[in-house]
Amino acid sequence: MDEVFARRDMIMRDTLRDLSSKSDLRGAVQVVSHLGAILSTGVLLTLTWGSWWVVPVFIVHGVLLNFLYAGQHEFSHATVFSSKLLNEWFGRLFGFVLLYPRDFDQIQHFAHHRFTQNWEKDGELARPPYDFKSYLLWVLGPTYWYTRIRRILRFSAGVVSEPYIPERRKADVIREGRLHLLGYGAIAAVSVATGSWLAVTHWLAPMMVTKVVHQLQNTIEHLGLPHVDDITLNTRSTRTNGVMRWLAWNMQYHTAHHAFPGVPCYNLARLHRSIFTDRGRRPEEMTYLGFQWKAIRAFLSGRTEADYPSDRVWISDDVDLEPVAPADNVRNPLGLKLED
């Protein structure tokens, strides 16, 4: 995706051209380091199985698997390598591991970029407004995995109901869903035939159990920001450390990424400095845990996402989560009437 979703006067043309250039070496370093880390934790998982050491290894291994989505995301943008074929097939491989078919994800994600925070057109907003229960189930993973698995089964049955998938692409996602299902079936058949639990212990179980860590990244990027057509207002960046930036392929510089999605992940720190830091500006940003604390507070009173203003920030370090709906019109998550 080479489109620009921010004012071009935010950055010099030559600077943007330089930052948009792809480096096969830097892309390979990111890919190999991430896959190498997964291989290492996979070996450690085998060696520590049956001891208490398996617990931290299991968690780290699962987190590394989940954050492969950061790579799939970059491959969908075709910004990791100069070769479109390499970007496509690595994206397909990662999507298979993550139970998240690449063609569908790319279609949904591009709709998200083109219509960010538009309830009717944003591919990531094809859901009801969050309440406490639905948000918690999404963050912890149960509804996330349910929707992923159900979608593959639905596509395999030839049913495509997503409004952002154009008619001409429906055959692609149906075929992709069937190929995924065939691949998963083959792995299951081999596992049963050989009596191996490897696919469960080293892939599915750690990935599903640790989804909550990856959801810290997924949920912080736009929730609680205005539903307006301005990338600098409707997208949030994340304050964190270098390890997390490596793990998420620099997606913490999310506002910069949404503004200029053609810039590779390994250049996003420089892009962020160019359009924000060097100009004495900063985007909306929070820490992972700071955001989650504010989000949970917002829903804990029984209010839903729809009870907060759509035209201004309502999850931030600087706001007190002032709702639109009066407190006496809502109930708390336990179903008890709120006191005045």
pLDDT-based confidence at 1, cuts 50/70/90? Answer: low
pLDDT for res 318: 75
Indicate whether 22 pLDDT > 60: yes
Rounded to two decimals, the pTM is 0.91
| 3-state SS assignment for residue 2 | coil
Distances (CA, A) of 223 to 190, 292, 308, 315: 42, 10, 11, 7
Could you report the per-residue pLDDT of 165-181, keeping only the tens digit for each? 999 999 999 999 999 99
pLDDT for res 9: 76
Mean pLDDT value of segment 239-265? 97
pLDDT for res 320: 58
Distances (CA, A) of 205 to 199, 208, 282: 8, 5, 39
Indicate whether 337 pLDDT > 50: no
Both tokens assigned to 281 = 């500006």
Read out DSSP for 162-224?
Answer: -TTS-HHHHHHHHHHHHHHHHHHHHHHHHHHHHT--HHIIIIIHHHHHTHHHHHHHHHHTTTT
3-state helix, strand, coil in the chain (%, to 5): 60, 0, 35
Average pLDDT, the chain: 92
pLDDT for res 322: 53
pLDDT for res 326: 38
Which stretch of DSSP H or E encloses residue 238?
A: strand 237-238
pLDDT for res 10: 85
> Could you give the CA distance from residue 186 to residue 119 in angstroms, rounded to a whole number?
38
pLDDT-above-70 percentage for the chain:
91
Closest by alpha carbon to 37, among 20, 57, 54? Answer: 57
Could you report the per-residue pLDDT of 258-284, keeping only the tens digit for each? 999 999 999 999 999 999 999 999 999
Could you report the per-residue pLDDT of 91-139, keeping only the tens digit for each? 999 999 999 999 999 999 999 999 999 999 999 999 999 999 999 999 9
Distances (CA, A) of 37 to 42, 61, 277: 8, 8, 32
Mean pLDDT value of segment 300-323? 84
Whose tokens are 């049956």? That residue is 50
